[in-house]
Amino acid sequence: MKMNKFKVSMTAAMASLLLLTTACSSSNSNSGSGAAEGKQEVTITFRSSGSEDTLTKYFESGLIEKFETDNPDIKIKIAPVLASEGDYTSKIVLQMKSPDTAPDIVAEDTSIIKSDAAAGYLEPLDTQVAGWSDWKDKFIENLKAGVTGEDGKIYGVPATSDTRGIWYNKELLAQAGLPVPFKPANWDEVLEAARTIKDKLPGVTPLNMIVGKSSGEGVTMQTLEMLLYGTNDTLYNDETKKWVVSSPGLLDSFKFINQLFNVDKTGPSMQVALNGQAGSIAFQQLFPQGKLAMAVDGSWAGSTWFENGAAPIENVADKMGFAPFPTQNGQEPGAITMSGGWAWSIPAQSQNKEAAWKFLEFLMNQENATGRVVAEGNLSPRNDSVDVAGYTDRTYTAEAQALLEVAKFRPANDQYATVSAQLQSIVESIASGKLSPEDAVKQLKDNVTRSLGEDKVEVK
Amino acid sequence: MKRKSRGAFLFLTPSVLLLLIFFIVPIILTICFAFTNMALTGSAARNLQFIGFQNFTNMFQDPDFRISVWRTLVFLIFSAVIGQVVLGFILALLMKEKNVTFRRIIGIIVIAGWVTPEIVVAFCMVAFFSDNGSLNQIIGWFGISPVSWLFSFPMVSVIIANIWHGTAFSMMVYQSALDEIPKDIEEAATIDGASNFKILSYITIPMVKGSIVTNMMLVTLQTLGVFTLIYTMTGGGPGTATQTLPVFMYNQAFVNYQFGYGTAISLVLLVIGIVASLFYMKSMKVKV
């Protein structure tokens, strides 16, 4: 009798355990595909900057409703990730590792797309783009290199593009007796302008450059590579497939940063420079308050001052200007810019790839792709965006677009993230006076050699 | 007797199983991963390989690692051993046998730092030390020009922050230990003519030795793991000025995406914790 009771209770316990696990698993599959409503649920993940995020607002401005009306069997769920640039990458990678958490469409920075493709997180899209007429003619050809993996397959659709240059306050430059429009011919003229502003306008930060490693990739691309690619050297040798960890150009670039921050002291205070929000502080506070004269930053940054931006400035085109960043000694082509941008990819573990591609095609058609870059102040990856009303007549767009002709792209290699992280830390150390330019070159050489191996680096 | 022990074993099984799943397996996995090239992204993420002691050789050749070990020791000695343990003891001693209201007021002030979550402490401290923060305003009243504390004295700033956050714990441990010393022993010593200092060094401290060691161990292990505070206040910078091992580990694992290397560093951190604990136990001759 006793034994029976035990058996009964054990069976009951097992049964309830079973029920619990099945309940769990069925709720999982429901949330994954939206099967309960008989619809496929496509989750789209991207980096959000918070409640005022432009991309989130753009999705919610009727775009999704329109797609869902046309495709009643698909439900779109937006799942923005609130994170800094560096954290975003690791968060989405962790999500993409498992089919339970992988989104169906993900925004990938073109600097990390090759790494993620090599790791097997992304779905090759060659068949899809082959059947998509827009891909061949309408997308700017050299942007496709940014979404091509090392195996030559396409892993994303470029969504935004950008260029970088010197943003400046016309009124402050005029007060300091500098020519407006500002068009420096070489590095010396940039540094000289900064020194003039320091002398003439006390209380004004002459030149902001992103150097805090908490700003992540911005340090490498916006500051170091803007300098380096204006010398005769590059970061990666495409012919030998090796990283150039020591070169005269690299040393000169480090010297420029040292000159700006430690010798001339014409850079921002370290408290601002090392802050993860250095870019926002410059564009949302210092520039509008007239406390900053120049800043090297991306073409999108000026949209901060537009009517619907975070810190609107009246008659912005009269007050602020955008100048090309010069090459080191003014050598051909005279100006330099780095171009990057974001792409949309489909994770390999996505459960709804077909529906995801359908939405991606819709998202990247002429009208919607242009709508997004207009909202965000970016450049479009589509060459037919110029035909859409409102694209080219935005302030600064013509200047930024023109820079695309001299644009360089980051090395097409899946080890870029490792090298970039080293550079971020080194640039911060130079700017904060903890490392001399010469020691910095040595440190970069040692560290990259150690992480990637002797056979992956070369010295010029 | 045999049946009894078998029964005892049966009752122990659940706790042993739980320990195994949630404690021992993760440690074993960490040890295994430290010998692989595990990475978050890139081709290494696809081909997980055993690479022997490669991570450890790299680590010991890495100047950043040596700097981080040094920073960790400085942070540990000043913010845990000297700061929290000594300050906590002094506070507890000063409050001993004081009037209840006084004890309560001081207690609330100190414990406020302890109950505040680490991330909130970090933000408060940033507000305190920043360029136009409270500290610069206070020294401004005395005509001293503002100092960029987080930039010029980053290590001092994070050490003060950790002391502010952690001292209450030590204080409470010592308070309860001191309260347990029978009054008559100290009274007898006073009657025999012992000075306050002698009473403290020959009676009070030896009697709370056990609490001191336990507390030192807990505070050390807690401080070895401090990440949020430093990461939020300085991000490990400027340069590598406040890059302790946990921050270094995070940077390798989640900024450089080298998980294998990150886990190897975490093992070193674990070893430092074990060595420190053994050292305390040995030096104070306490058996655990």
Q: What is the pLDDT of residues A36-94, one digit of tens each?
A: 467 899 999 999 877 778 899 899 989 999 999 999 999 999 999 998 777 898 899 99
Q: Do residues A272 and B240 lie in contact, with contact meaning Cβ atoms separated by under 8 Å?
A: no
Q: What is the pLDDT of residues B51-107, one digit of tens each?
A: 999 999 989 988 889 999 999 999 999 999 899 999 999 999 888 877 888 888 888
How far apart are the C-alpha atoms of A67 and A362, rounded to whole Å? Answer: 8
Q: Check pLDDT > 80 for residue A286.
A: yes
How far apart are the C-alpha atoms of A159 and A88, rounded to whole Å? Answer: 17
- Span A292-314, mean pLDDT? 89
Question: B41: which chain A residues are within 8 Å (Cβ-Cβ)?
Answer: 89, 93, 112, 115-116, 118-119, 121, 414, 417
Q: Do residues B247 and B68 lie in contact, with contact meaning Cβ atoms separated by under 8 Å?
A: yes
Of B58, B63, B255, the CB nearest to A421: B255
How far apart are the C-alpha atoms of A251 and A442, rounded to whole Å? Answer: 10
Q: Is A22 helix (H, G, I), strand (E, B) or coil?
A: helix
* pLDDT in the model for residue A3: 47
Q: Is A245 helix (H, G, I), strand (E, B) or coil?
A: strand
Report the half-sphere exposure of A259 (CA within 13 A, side-chain side): 13
Question: A271: which chain B residues are within 8 Å (Cβ-Cβ)?
Answer: 130-131, 148, 150-151
Residue type, A166: I
* pLDDT in the model for residue A378: 87
* pLDDT in the model for residue B132: 82
* pLDDT in the model for residue A182: 95
* pLDDT in the model for residue A1: 43
Q: Check pLDDT > 50 for residue A35.
A: no
pLDDT band of A156, cuts 50, 70, 90: very high
Q: What is the pLDDT of residues B183-229, one digit of tens each?
A: 888 889 889 988 888 988 898 899 998 899 889 989 999 999 999 99
Size of interface A-B (CB pairs under 8 A): 102
Contact B235 A274 (CB under 8 A): yes
User: What is each CA distance from B117 to B107, B224, B228, in whole angstroms?
Assistant: 18, 17, 10
Give burial (CB, 10 Å; 0-12/13-18/19+) of B163: buried
- Residue B123 touches partner A, C-beta closer than 8 Å: no
Nearest to A433 by CA among A204, A263, A279, A195: A263
Q: Do residues A441 and A255 lie in contact, with contact meaning Cβ atoms separated by under 8 Å?
A: no
Check whether the bond before A184 is cis (ω within 30° of 0): no
Mean pLDDT, chain B, rounded, equals: 89
Question: A435: which chain B residues are within 8 Å (Cβ-Cβ)?
Answer: 239
DSSP A293-335: EEEEEEGGGGGGGSTTSSS--TTHHHHEEEEPEEPTTS-TTSE
Which of B126, B227, B247, B255 is the best substitution to test chain A (most A C-beta atoms within 10 A)? Answer: B255
Contact B42 A119 (CB under 8 A): yes
User: What is each CA distance from B190 to B37, B96, B196, B203, in whole angstroms?
Assistant: 65, 16, 8, 11
Give burial (CB, 10 Å; 0-12/13-18/19+) of A2: exposed
How far apart are the C-alpha atoms of A421 and A329, rounded to whole Å? Answer: 28
